[in-house]
Structure formats: C-alpha cells, structure tokens
Amino acid sequence: MSIKTLKSSVILTAFTVCLCAAAYSAVSTSGPEFWVMFNMQHMDGDGDMPVQEFAITSGTSAAGVVQIPGTGFSQNFTVTPGSITVINLPANTHISTLDGTQSKAVHITADSDIVVYGLNRRAHTTDGYLALPVGALGYEYYAMSYYSDPNTANPGWPTYWGSQFGIAAAHDNTTVTIIPSVTIGARQAGIPYTVTLNRGDAYQLMDAGFNDLTGTFISADKPIAVFSGHRCARIPITVPACDHITEQLLPVHAWGREFITAPLAGRTSGDTFRIMASEDNTTVMINGVHAATINKGQFYQVIITNPSYITSTNPLLVMQYANSAHYDPSAFGDPFMSIVFPLESFSSDYHTASYRLHDTPDPAYLNITAPISALGSVSVNGTLLGAGIFAPVPGTPYYYTQLAVPAGPAAYNVTAFEPFGLSVYGFYQYDSYGYPAGGFLPPMPTQTSTPTLTPTSTITPTLTATPTITPEPEIAELTIQKKVAGNSTAQGTEITYTVTLYNDSKYPAYNINIWDTLPGALTFVSGITHQPASVDGNYILWELTGITLSPGETLFLEFSALISGETGGNVISNTAGADYNDGYYTPDYMRHPPIFSDAALYPGSAVAVFPNPYSINGPPLKISNLIPGSTVSFYTLSGEFVYSIKAQCVTESWNGTNRRGARVSPGVYYYLIINPSGGVTEKGKIFIVR
C-alpha cells in the first residue's frame, strides 16, 4: 500500500459547523414522456365525483399533449418557465375495477423536459403524486399502502375499504408478475399470478375488505409505472377522518440507504412512517439507534415527531404519512402519503408546484432539508432564504425548514449551491395532499429478466428468473476519514486536522477534489504541497487533477488551524468532503457522488463524578459536565464490565447496580467516559462503600 501526503495550514475563527452532504445520480424526475394512471378514489354516493388533473411545470418553455388513447381524450398544452399549467381530465379517469384492466393509462409527451404532478381530488379527500418519466421506470416494485379500519364499515358506504395498487403499461405485450402479500378475492397470498398489459392499459388490484396490500411484489419483463395507496385511509387506523392517499412508487433499483426526514408543519403529535426493506436481514437505524431488522417486502412502522436520520444496511423505501385530523391537537388536515427521497437522489435545482385545496387562504408548505454548506444559498423563485429559518437535524450535518408559500396553483423554482431535499404539501379542513418535489434516480438497470414459475414440492411456487448479464461498472469506491488533534477549544489553541482517502475497490480514481468548509472568518497562510488550494470565504478546495489513487493506495492530507476567537465552550465540528472520476463517472458524464467525514473537538471541561466515595445505600451517584451522546462505563479493577450509561443530558446518575440489576459489591471501580466522536474524555476511580 502506498501513501500520498499533502499538507497545508490555515488560521480560523472558531464556530460550530457540521458536515455537508448530498449526492445525486443520472436520471431526472423531469422528462419528455410519461405513462401514468389514477387509482380509485373515495365515493360516498353524495354525487360529488372525484376529479383527476395534472399540474405541469418546467424550467424551459415546452409544448406537449395529454392523451388517454383508450378513451380518445387528447388535449394540447404549453408551459413557460416559472408558470404552472393545469390539465383537467374527463370524469371517471380513475380505475374503477377491483381486479382488472381498463384502457385508462394517461400518456403525456412534450418537446422538452417537464415536471408532472397528478392530483386525485374531491371534497375532503385528496392526494397527489410526482409522476416519473419513462426513463425513470423500473422492473421491480413493492406496494406500499395502509390498513383498512373495520370500525368504519357501513353497509351504505363501503368506500373506506380499499388498500390498492395500480400499474400503467408503457409497452405492448408487457408480462407483469404479482405476488400478493395478503389474499384478495381469488388472488392468494404468496401465490404469483400474471397479467399481460399493452401500451395504454392500466391494471388495479384493490381490497374490498380490511387487508393491507403493502409488501406485494410486482415485477415485469418491460419497465412499468406502479402506483399505490388507499381509497380512504385513517392514520392511525382508528383515528378519524379518512382521506385518499396515493404515490407513484420508486422502483427497487432507486431505493436508498440514507434519509433525512422533516416533520410536517403544524403537526405536533408526529407523522407516521413506513420503512420497507428490499433485502433480507436489513438493519434499520433511526438517529443512530437500532429500530428494526426486517426482510425484503417487510416494513417497520413508527410515529416520529422530530427531524430524523434514517440509515440501513440495505436499500429502503421510506414513506411519510400525514396523520388523520383528530390525531393532532390542531384537528386540521387529514392523511396523505409522500415518498422520502434518499440523500443520493437530492437535486440542487427543482421546478415544482403547489395546489390550492378548495377556496382557502391556507398556505402550502415546502419542506427543505439542506446540508449546512448549502445554507445561505437556498433560494425560492430567486429570493434567498436566510440561514436563520433553518433548524438542525440533530446528529447530522443537515438543517430543515417548513416554508409556508401561497396555496397556488403556483410554480416554484428552488435552488442551492449543493443538492438538498424538497417536498410539497398542503392542508385544509379534513383534507390534504403531498408529494416529493423530484430529484435524481439511478439509471434504469440494463439487466433484464423474464419471470417464470418453477414448481416445488410445496404448495407455493417459487419465482425464478433468467438474467441477461451486463458488465460490472468500473466504479471506484473510496472511503474518507477525518480526524482532529488538539487539547481544547480555547482561543489561541492550535489544532491539526488529517484527512485520509483510501481506495479499497478494484478500480482507480482520478481528478480528485477535496474540500473543507471552515467555521467563521479565516486567513489562509500557506499553500498545499503539489497543488495549491483555492480559498473562497470559508470554503477551501484542493483540486488534485494530477493524482490518481489506484486500488489499495491511500492519500493523506494534513492541515492545521489556529482558534483565533472565543468559542464559548462549544464543540468545534468541521467537515471534509471529496469527489472524483473513475471508469463509470467519467468527466464527460458526471463526478462520483461526494463522500464526507467530519471531526469534532470537544471542550476541556472536567467531568465531575460525585460523591466519591459513593454509598450504594444513599442517593444515586451523579456524573456532571457530560456532553450529550457520551458513554459512561464502569469496570472492576480486573477490567470486567459492570454498567454503562448513554448520556442524554449534561448530568446523569447511577444507582450502583450492574447490567443484571443487582447491587455491586463495595470496592474500587474504574469509570471511563467516551465522547460522541469516540475519544476518551476522562477516566478515573470511584470508591463504593455501604
């Protein structure tokens, strides 16, 4: 293994900064061609028929046509930058069969890329979806829906029932294989069945009882568009009122492993999330804490009240649900479902649209989740947003805001210097809608397969496939690690940062860029070995165009900083990032999505452990001046582990019990305090007496 070393020096004014992040890939959710459909809406016999419509926007002028080939409907449209065009569709465009095919798929084409949102609405039950262009479709999907509440059953209103999914075909002779997660009529749970669709066909399976189709596996031999939701769901299941929920689903190849979630505006009791796995033995972590281990097609459901960071060992689909009106003290709004895009799907330039629910002045909302390095550059229709309106997502380099905007229909161009996440939603009395604004998805797989049924000795057939193998992309996967060395965060302290890049893949990386966003005002002192750094305010960039990092090689960068201002005893957190080219992400295509690492220097305040000696028959032992997130561990003199505490507050306590709950024996014990970044804050002895 070879090591390449680079050094530089800076002087900085200390201020807390967290890591920046975001990555995107190749296929935009804007495009020139779409095939979509609408699932069945809630109808209660009062004559108020649901209306289906599109909101179309774009960053460029575009002209196109919306067609339903099976019904003969056709309407031309134009859209100009910064505007929204609404297309109303004929009555009963939604699919009205419980288990069957109708020629109601809608075809949208344009002479340049457009963004399309579908809305399925009627009084007090509405939702919408982000339409995916044909180039973003896939071969494999899992349905995501919700439960039906038996307590809402009414012989005259069997319309609250209805877990559902639908499929729109973009190609003739498309064979779709469906493995239901539950038994729906003649469709047996776990037993595959096939449906053949032609271009313009739309298929729907909807439950007429109280089942939940979530986890149903849908695959095809040609790319398809899949839509999933519920005719009228109560969320949570027993809380009024119900509302139509729908989304166009991401294909499995577009799922991700990292997500930032932001709470919905005005909702103080939290939002419901469903987190689904694409592979067996998938570990799900929420804010660094193990939440669940699930298999492919299974989901973990949880209500989250605060912003959160969700990670996993395998790709996930994350769905955010607005809860029913009476779940929240506001008693406003109702359910909708909205896909949470993974970090790698973020964009730095969105063209999106909001709706108006009925004749109401109530605003729509833009939920923006942005890395700290993007704050100050986020703008909406050319107006910069102040960094002060953003709140941190704890434990991450991300911030979020719930920006109220006019209800619309209105178009919004939201941009920043770095990729960020964006969703759009709105509430009204017992009504709502929501959808992701868009982003970038991985390219459609070139590997194809034709599903076949192989009989087994059991009753349930096994789905197998004969794949077409394509060459492995020559992607270099580098790892980055940043560390900091220093005695304290006091003014005048010199600290040293090291950044290590390691190529543990089979392919070389080249045209490497490394950057650091430094806290506060700074003065650059010296250049970098081999190639100088460019400095723009707080941003330092090393463009290492002459360096190739071959498999097994390590690149080592070192620079120092002088804390020249008062820190107020705060943690100094600093971030390094890198991107590069390789055999797949070539200069004429795009750069490899960025990788990041941060390092934190913690104040030198001494931790107090008292009383010492400590009587196990007296009040609990106190440990104060802790950094929340630290771990306090106790050991015997021989090194045997006794007990540990994960600090949630500045002061924690211990009642003298071991991990089994039994009182420890009198004697001398060690304590060890580890700060959140893994460094030892303090260690010492505690004397325990009776």
Q: Domain for residue 307, yes or no?
A: yes
Percent of the chain clearing pLDDT 90 (strictly above): 41
**Using one digit for the tens of pLDDT, what is the confidence trace for 368-403?**
999 988 888 899 999 999 988 999 998 888 999 999
* Whether the predicted pLDDT of 129 surpasses 90: yes
Q: What is the mean pLDDT of residues 137-147?
A: 95
Give dist(CA 68, CA 37) in Å, integer: 10
Percent of the chain clearing pLDDT 70 (strictly above): 79
Q: Total domain count for the chain?
A: 3
Q: Domain for residue 458, yes or no?
A: no
Q: Please indicate whether residue 635 or residue 159 has the higher confidence score (pLDDT).
A: 635
Given a contact cutoff of 8 angstroms between Cβ atoms, the answer to whether 508 and 551 are in contact is: yes
**pLDDT band for position 157 (50/70/90)?**
very low
Q: Do residues 219 and 289 share a domain?
A: yes
Nearest CA to 135 out of 440, 448, 450 is that of: 440
Computed over every residue of the chain, the mean pLDDT equals 81
Given a contact cutoff of 8 angstroms between Cβ atoms, the answer to whether 445 and 457 are in contact is: no
State which amino acid sits at residue 98.
L
**Using one digit for the tens of pLDDT, what is the confidence trace for 422-452?**
999 988 877 778 999 999 998 876 644 444 4
Q: Do residues 123 and 164 share a domain?
A: yes
Give the per-residue pLDDT at 360: 64
**Using one digit for the tens of pLDDT, what is the confidence trace for 30-63?**
999 999 999 988 765 455 677 899 999 999 999 9
* Whether the predicted pLDDT of 23 surpasses 90: no
Give the per-residue pLDDT at 466: 38
Q: Do residues 421 and 483 share a domain?
A: no
Q: Do residues 357 and 505 share a domain?
A: no
Q: Do residues 478 and 364 share a domain?
A: no
Q: Do residues 520 and 644 share a domain?
A: no
Q: Domain for residue 468, yes or no?
A: no
* Whether the predicted pLDDT of 269 surpasses 60: yes
Q: Do residues 574 and 684 share a domain?
A: no
Q: Domain for residue 315, yes or no?
A: yes
User: What does each C-alpha distance from 644 to 118, 579, 633, 661, 690 come to in angstroms?
Assistant: 52, 39, 4, 12, 21
* Whether the predicted pLDDT of 22 surpasses 90: no
The gap from C-alpha 401 to its chain's centroid, in whole angstroms, comes to 15
Ramachandran sector of residue 569 (left: φ over 0; alpha: ψ -120 to 50; beta: rest) = left
User: Which of 540, 575, 601 is the endpoint of a domain?
Assistant: 601
DSSP string, 395-451: TSSEEEEEEEE--SSEEEEEEEEEEEEEEEEEEEBTEEEEEE---EEPPPPS--EEE
User: Which of 549, 579, 601 is the endpoint of a domain?
Assistant: 601
Give the per-residue pLDDT at 383: 92
Give the per-residue pLDDT at 271: 92
- Among positive and negative, which fits the CA dihedral 418, 574, 517, 533? negative
Q: Do residues 238 and 123 share a domain?
A: yes
Q: Do residues 519 and 542 share a domain?
A: yes
Q: Do residues 166 and 289 share a domain?
A: yes
**Using one digit for the tens of pLDDT, what is the confidence trace for 461-510?**
333 333 434 455 678 888 888 776 655 666 677 767 778 888 888 899 99
Q: Domain for residue 537, yes or no?
A: yes
Q: Do residues 594 and 622 share a domain?
A: no
Q: Do residues 561 and 416 share a domain?
A: no
Give the per-residue pLDDT at 526: 58
Given a contact cutoff of 8 angstroms between Cβ atoms, the answer to whether 52 and 118 are in contact is: yes
Q: Domain for residue 462, yes or no?
A: no
The set of residues, in sequence order, having a beta carbon less than 8 Å from that of 113 and lying 6+ positions away, is 28, 30, 31, 32, 58, 59, 60, 62, 133
Give dist(CA 462, CA 634) in Å, integer: 52
CATH number for the domain harbouring residue 648: 2.60.40.1930
State which amino acid sits at residue 114.
I
Domain span holding position 561: 3-24+473-601
Q: Domain for residue 164, yes or no?
A: yes
Ramachandran sector of residue 127 (left: φ over 0; alpha: ψ -120 to 50; beta: rest) = beta
Give dist(CA 581, CA 591) in Å, integer: 5
pTM of the prediction?
Answer: 0.64
User: Which of 581, 601, 621 is the endpoint of a domain?
Assistant: 601
Q: Domain for residue 128, yes or no?
A: yes
Q: What angle do CA 582, 586, 590 make, to 5 degrees?
A: 110
